[in-house]
Amino acid sequence: MKIDSSFKFGIIGGGQLARMSALQAFRYGIQVGAVTSPSRNDPMEQVTPHVFRGQMSDYNTLEALANWADVITLENEFLDGELLQKVRSETGTPIYPTASSFKKIENKRIEKETFRAAGIPVTSFMVIQEPDDLKKAGADFGWPYILKSSKGGYDGYGNATVRNMEEAAKAFSKLGGTSGREIIAEERIAFTRELAVLVARNHLGTVVYPCVETIQEDHICKTVIAPARIPKALREQACELALAATEAIDGIGLFAFEFFLTADNEILLNESAPRPHNSGHYTIEACETSQFENHVRCVIGLPPKAVSMRKPFAVMVNLLGKRNAPAVLESSSDLRHLEDLHIHVYGKSESRIGRKMGHVTVLGRDVEECLTMAQKADSTILL
């Protein structure tokens, strides 16, 4: 691809991940367009004149973006692989990750089958086709276990932990199992840490980011600590699994892999995402090249760049909405005295309690100090 100021980079999605990728794409002097929601409130709306409003499930909307763009990428996995394939073949516009890669992880069942076949340890699972399977899952995995919608879940939506048959039946119905959605049951892992690793890859090269630790609160990633506070050998093992997983789907672009570390120091792949990920926001300041910049580079055909960390530690804390009203950036706090603290606000027009409104990253030499500083910032930056 010839990259000049007329080059057009298309993103299916208008949220904060698309926006942060766009802000990096602009550094390369290229144009960015996005499929955004009809609400006109998406974070992407404020950073480009090239928006294609519509549903991600609507072929015509995707086609309009594809006809405008020189290359297309994704912001999330709530897409249909067949639809992506059609957009690619009808418009001729390349899509990275490819529809072929996407289909290999299109839903949680296929994803697990793909990675298990590639020899990557995954959590045990089974498809729940009828209520009797719920009992079988309990017998196989023990109680409690997890029920998940194969497609469309995020931040705890689409998941349920069930402790007995009554809860299982209720959750199965609530998740849509009785109305035709594919539901899987998963063994509940007694993990000691949750880990994540990013990989950027294309035909010119591959880079693997440090293994980080993620801490969820109410099913939402709240804190990321880079690197993970576990032995180096385990971090390297997670990085190797992430690399193998990317190769297993012949991934081109930026991929995120979430793992469980068990008490026996076993590392199990939990979920993957074919796009920049919340666990990688820390890379904007902490790494030589951010996940967003390498996302753009891999998609437009530049070799991914080095990802070494600038300081020994980084802590990222998500700024979640504190009230159901516009989020106001606090200007009178003492944050000016905090060193190497970096603020990102996504420009969402409305805040809701628990909604991801922004994040802060703190870099430093002492991980506990970084954590304290990031938490202090979290309590004061966005009101």
Shortest CB 30 distance to a copy of itself, Å: 7
Q: Transcribe 90-129 into DSSP letters.
A: HH---BSS-HHHHHHTSSHHHHHHHHHHTT--B--EEEE-
68 near a copy of itself (CB under 8 A): no
Q: Answer left, alpha or beta for residue 22, where phi above 0 means left and psi between -120 and 50 means alpha.
A: alpha
- Strand ranges in 245-320 using DSSP code E only, listed in sequence order: 253-262, 267-273, 313-320
Identify any residues that bridge with 267 across adjacent strands, giving them in sequence order: 261
Our CB check for a copy of itself shows the closer of 28 and 154 to be 28
Q: How far apart are CA 154 and CA 145, in angstroms?
A: 18
Shortest CB 155 distance to a copy of itself, Å: 20
Scanning 61-69, 112-120, 163-171, 327-335 for contacts with a copy of itself by CB under 8 A, the matching segment is 327-335
48 near a copy of itself (CB under 8 A): yes
Our CB check for a copy of itself shows the closer of 60 and 331 to be 331
Residue with tokens 């059609």: 86
Shortest CB 135 distance to a copy of itself, Å: 49
Q: How far apart are CA 372 and CA 92, in angstroms?
A: 50
47 near a copy of itself (CB under 8 A): yes
Q: Using N-to-C axis directions, what is the helix angle for 291-300 and 16-25, rounded to 10°?
A: 70
Our CB check for a copy of itself shows the closer of 6 and 265 to be 6
Residue with tokens 């006109």: 40
49 near a copy of itself (CB under 8 A): yes
327 near a copy of itself (CB under 8 A): yes
Scanning 112-120, 165-173, 235-243, 324-332 for contacts with a copy of itself by CB under 8 A, the matching segment is 324-332
The answer to whether 73 and 49 are in contact (CB under 8 A) is no
**How is residue 156 written in tokens?**
């705890």
353 near a copy of itself (CB under 8 A): no
Which residue among 121, 144, 176, 301 contacts a copy of itself (CB under 8 A)?
301
Site residues for a copy of itself per CB under 8 A:
1-6, 19, 23, 26-32, 45-49, 51, 204-205, 288, 300-306, 310, 326-329, 331, 335-336, 339-341, 343-349, 357-358
